[in-house]
Chain A
Amino acid sequence: MKTWCIALTGTFCSIILLAFIPPRPLQKFHIQGYSQGTTYQVTYYAADSVVSQKQTDSLLNRLDKSVNLYQANSLICKFNASPKGIMIDGHFRILVKKALEINHATGGLVDVTVKPLVDAWGFGVKKPAHFPDSARVKTILKNIGSDKIWLQGSFLHKKLPGVQIDLNGIAQGYAADLLSNFLQRKHVYNYVAEIGGELRIHGRKPNGKPFKIGIEAIDDNDINPGPLRKVITPGDGAITTSGNYRKHLEAGGRQISHIMDPKTGYPTQNEMISVTVWARDGITADGYDNGFIAMGLKRTLRFLQKRTDIGAYIIYQKPNGAVADTVTAGFKGYK
């Protein structure tokens, strides 16, 4: 009884003592690396450096081997070169499933089968000598359309050998998700993970303040960028941006957008300059942002009118040439 009493008192004392040991303070850790042809950065707060660049590099490398068009041996390149399709891996399957879902939701305006158009208009890996004429566009369009690919288990089929897909518009958002999941598995709950301008955010800074996210200026000057256009505090979720201001070509004094209209076969031409999307995860936000550029202002606003699970901050050009912006109800952290 006595022994039991001592043991109990001991345990009690230990609990009291433990309660008084201050938790180890959170420190800021920063990882900077290179993947998918762009840079990535992770800033996280933890007691210790529980996540290393070696780990994040290898995580993103696996995705690269699956869906990077710039890696000749990637699964996506093998699929594009195949006559009927190939067996794909888990990452690839998740991305294709989501892409098909978004294709359906946007009435076909977001379509991963636009790759032959992207190439023909000079935004692919190989640069053509000149822009395609209408006859060439018509021929290319025969291979465009999400009805020309389908999943059967882990086999991704294609209807015609010329069908090719490009997951660049969605893969970076998904890469941010992978970084986010990995941090959570390591019990890191306060972080910002960014790849190619697409972000996943979770938690707060140790001082209790929310993470501040800047929306880049639209001045196309990478060498000496202008000041941030807006600073937002979106809280937990994903923020991605699609813009016409950085990647475009010029022809006859006209700017050619890198976002293709899968219906017409021509680059989109409308008032949209840049769309920043908030959604719960990166694959969704990144999957939709190009689509909103293609939809144009009116349709995008209608699409997002009553939605709170996804929102957008849109920069567009008014008919008089002035640059304006607007925000939808679902866009978080905008003041």
Chain B
Amino acid sequence: MERRIFIKNTGMIAGGLLINKTQNIFGASAGAIVRIAVVGCGDRGKGVMSVILKSPDKFKITAVCDVLDFRLTEANKMNKTGDTWKNYTDYHKLMDDKNVDAVVVAVPLNMHYPVAVEVLKADKHLYLEKTMTYNIEQALDLVKMVKARPKQVVQVGHQYRYSPLYYRVKEMIAKGYLGKISQVDCRWDRNANWRRPVPSPGLERQINWRMYKEYSGGLVAELLSHQIDFINWAFDTHPEEFMATGGIDVFKDGRETYDNVQVLLRYPEQGMIGNFGATCGNSRDGYLFKIKGTKGTVSLLTDQGMFYPEKDLLKGNDVVDGVTGATRIVWNKEGGSPILPEPTKDGTWYALNDFYDKIGSGKLPDSNIYTGAKTAICVSLANQALYGKQITNWKKEYSV
């Protein structure tokens, strides 16, 4: 009934658009295949494509877009489907493609916002890579725009927390298994320059965009945002205070973004400190994610995690002198218990499956425009602290 009134009031063209969109939404829920275009065919774009190609019952790539020809060639090489993919070098043109229901955006960070706006205006569903936007203004603006378009599904690519492991940890935190949590330790280290090979010197800035402030938020935006986002989501909170230090300490190769960073976040509501660090000069820790409470520690990799109860709690069991039970499965010599019995799949797999389901149901994804904005704002405030050598604070108007 509502729809009929709407068509009457807005005339034939707008009504036609709406019907088209409605068909897509209900089509997917009935098991229809979602037609995907990928904008940005770099490492991440191709990585997402490889996962999409594993679910031909849900997704079908119909178009690919990149400003670099060799990237398009690489993307097309992945096509073993027998169908041809429409190739675009200008994302604006892709927006008119009627064979596209949803767009995966995996472009440099500074381009997230302009491409996302076009996708939304074209009435397509959007899977936008993290970090959601380059700055706070864009984040708040995108929230406004998505709010006004309730029928389009917008998911932000914080894929790790889509793994059942991370859902389980969120549940453990909520149930109080860790006790009072006071510290979060995160690292994402490597002993490498974090550069991609450049076929000709003219392409340096386009390919190694992560090295330049104009395009990228550096290590905080590209790596630490995942862990910052998980803490925001798991505790339903955000930090109030942002302190940071860093520099170009290992690779003095003309880059602008720091290769050695440490961010310190204060969550006063939780009485909690978050330490988020990344260096390009050591790989021992690699990916490290520890959540520390009075009852125990959760230690996470991307696909597996352990729980270590506090030793004093184990020793304090004076009621009995021994316990009998079915053999406990223990993975390591420090007495930790695995949080899940098996390592999980790559987070992107779970994230894309959920994207498909949400296109069908029209419901809000778990990594959505609101959580995406919150994390993008955190990243921006952390980078303001880092590069501006100042303490920055969350502002009321950021809470959307």
Q: Contact residues of A with B, CB < 8 Å? A: 32, 34, 37-39, 41, 43, 127, 172, 192, 194, 196-199, 201, 205, 211-216, 222-224, 228, 231, 239-247, 274, 276
Contact = CB atoms under 8 A, between A and B. Distances in A.
B26 to A, nearest CB: 29
Contacts of A245: 326
Contacts of B326: 197, 216, 241-247, 274
Interface in B136-195: 172, 175, 177
Contacts of B323: 194, 197, 213-216, 228
Interface string B281-314: 0000000000000000000000000010000000
B335 A247 contact: no
A333 to B, nearest CB: 12
Contacts of A274: 326
A43 B9 CA distance: 82
A197 B320 contact: no
A223 B339 contact: yes
Interface residues of B, number: 22
7 contacts: A34-B335, A43-B322, A201-B322, A222-B337, A231-B319, A231-B320, A241-B326
A213 B333 CA distance: 24
A229 B322 CA distance: 13
A226 B189 CA distance: 38
B320 A214 contact: yes
Nearest to A169: B327
B328 interface: yes
- If over half of B's interface residues share one DSSP class (helix, strand or loop), that class is named, otherwise mixed; here it is loop
Contacts of B320: 212-214, 228, 231
A43 B323 CA distance: 12
A172 B330 CA distance: 14
A215 B324 contact: yes
Contacts of A41: 322
A73 B155 CA distance: 49
A131 B205 CA distance: 52
B317 to A, nearest CB: 8
A228 B321 CA distance: 12
Given A211-B321, A214-B322, A223 B177 contact: yes
Given A223-B339, A231-B320, A34 B327 contact: no
Contacts, number: 98
B325 interface: yes
B5 to A, nearest CB: 45
Contacts of B339: 223
A196 B325 CA distance: 8
A238 to B, nearest CB: 10
A12 to B, nearest CB: 42
A34 B329 CA distance: 12
Contact of A223 (B172, B319, B332): B172
A196 B321 contact: no
Given A222-B337, A223-B177, A223-B307, A199 B322 contact: yes
A37 B324 contact: no
A261 to B, nearest CB: 18
A242 B324 CA distance: 9
A102 to B, nearest CB: 18
Nearest to B323: A214
Contacts of A38: 327-330
A214 B332 CA distance: 24
A213 B321 CA distance: 6
Contacts of B335: 32, 34, 39
Given A38-B330, A246-B329, A216 B175 contact: no
Max chain B Cβ within 10 angstroms of own Cβ: one of A38, A198, A199, A223 = A223
A212 B320 CA distance: 5
Nearest to A242: B326
A247 B329 contact: yes
Nearest to B342: A127
A247 B328 CA distance: 8
Max chain A Cβ within 10 angstroms of own Cβ: one of B322, B324, B332, B337 = B324
Given A223-B339, A228-B319, A241 B325 contact: yes
Contacts of A37: 329-330
A104 B108 CA distance: 70
Given A213-B323, A223-B337, 20 more contacts: A37-B329, A37-B330, A38-B329, A39-B330, A192-B321, A192-B322, A197-B324, A198-B327, A199-B324, A212-B319, A213-B320, A213-B322, A214-B324, A222-B307, A223-B172, A223-B177, A228-B323, A241-B325, A246-B329, A247-B329
Nearest to A243: B326
Contact of A213 (B172, B175, B177, B324): B324
A-B pairs, top 5 by smallest CB distance, nearest first, are A216-B325, A243-B326, A214-B320, A197-B325, A196-B327
Contacts of A224: 172, 175, 177
A246 B172 contact: no
A155 to B, nearest CB: 30
B172 A205 contact: no
Given A196-B327, A197-B326, A224-B177, A205 B321 contact: yes
B13 to A, nearest CB: 50
Contacts of B307: 222-223
B106 to A, nearest CB: 31
A286 to B, nearest CB: 10
A37 B175 CA distance: 29
Given A222-B337, A223-B177, A231-B319, A216 B324 contact: yes
Given A223-B307, A224-B175, A214 B328 contact: no
B165 to A, nearest CB: 12
A197 B327 contact: yes
Nearest to A195: B327
A13 to B, nearest CB: 42
A45 to B, nearest CB: 10
A241 B337 contact: no
Contacts of B332: 34
Interface in B43-86: none
Interface in B319-368: 319-330, 332-333, 335, 337, 339, 342
A194 B323 CA distance: 8
A172 B325 CA distance: 12
A211 B320 CA distance: 7
A192 to B, nearest CB: 4
A43 B321 contact: yes
A224 B309 CA distance: 9
A227 to B, nearest CB: 9
Nearest to A273: B326
B90 to A, nearest CB: 44
A214 B314 CA distance: 14
A73 B263 CA distance: 47
